[in-house]
């Protein structure tokens, strides 16, 4: 057990160096995002899930290359046994053994059953992180995800980075 926090930025740099990729350029936002208070108690909220760990459902096309900005829609009723994971930039051993470590679908279903959240949105969204083009994320992928969450009438979104 480690008492020190993990330096994820340095770990990511080392991982990308080991893969032989160009150094990852972190996006540095110059403005603070606007604060948006949650409009209702979590016990009444519809919760959405977005994860960047390369999760897809059996039968869907796997993510296949760096800078893949495609999105997979996964019904939240999907059994965990049907979830698959692929990614070029992290060790997939634990995620393949239990996709919940990067896609906490079972935990969110449990929270809905226990009425800790109002309900889980009918669809979760995934993509493969490690996208070098911040412009494509900002201009294409992020607006698409926002559009989908609005269409799903999501009150709160859980974002799970890898």
Report if residue 14 sits inside a domain.
no
Q: Is 65 inside a domain boundary?
A: yes
The number of domains in the chain is 1
Question: Quick one: pLDDT at residue 1?
Answer: 55
* Side-chain-facing half-sphere of 35: CA atoms under 13 Å: 1
Does 90 fall in a domain? yes
In a domain, 58, yes or no: yes
Range of the domain at 151: 41-160
Long-range CB pairs of 55-59, under 8 A, 24+ apart, other chains included: 55/83, 55/84, 55/85, 55/95, 55/99, 55/102, 55/103, 55/126, 56/83, 56/84, 56/85, 56/86, 56/126, 57/82, 57/83, 57/84, 58/82, 58/83, 58/84
Q: What pLDDT shows up at residue 28?
A: 77
pLDDT of residue 30: 82
- Evaluate whether residue 134 is within a structural domain: yes
Which residues, given as ranges, of the chain have pLDDT below 50? none
In a domain? residue 15: no
**Residue 64 covered by a domain:** yes
Predicted confidence at residue 14, as pLDDT, reads 80
How confident is the model at residue 54, as a pLDDT?
94
Q: What is the pLDDT of residue 2?
A: 60
Token pair listed for 87: 């990614």
Is residue 141 assigned to a domain? yes
User: Counting beta carbons within 10 angstroms of the beta carbon of residue 112, is it exposed (0 to 12), middle (13 to 18) or buried (19 or more)?
Assistant: middle
User: What confidence tens digit (pLDDT) does each residue in 53-78 have?
Assistant: 999 999 999 998 777 899 999 999 99
**DSSP secondary structure, 16-74, as one string:** HHHHTPPPP-----SSPPPP---SS-GGG-EEEEEE-B-EEETTSPPP-STT----EEE
Nearest to 134 by CA among 15, 28, 17, 11: 28
């Amino acid at each position: 057990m480690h008492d020190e926090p993990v330096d994820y930025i340095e770990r990511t740099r080392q991982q990308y160096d080991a893969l032989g990729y160009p150094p990852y350029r972190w996006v540095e936002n110059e403005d603070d995002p606007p604060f948006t208070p949650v409009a209702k108690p979590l016990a009444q909220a519809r919760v959405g899930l977005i994860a960047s760990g390369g999760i897809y459902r059996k039968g869907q096309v796997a993510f296949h290359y760096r800078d893949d900005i495609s999105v997979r829609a996964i019904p939240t009723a999907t059994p965990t046994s049907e979830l698959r994971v692929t990614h070029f930039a992290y060790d997939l051993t634990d995620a393949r053994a239990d996709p919940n470590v990067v896609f906490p679908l079972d935990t969110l279903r449990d929270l809905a059953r226990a009425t800790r959240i109002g309900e889980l949105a009918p669809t979760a969204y995934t993509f493969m992180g490690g996208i070098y083009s911040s412009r494509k994320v900002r201009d294409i992928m992020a607006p698409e995800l926002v559009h989908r969450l609005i269409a799903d009438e999501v009150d709160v979104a859980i974002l799970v980075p890898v």
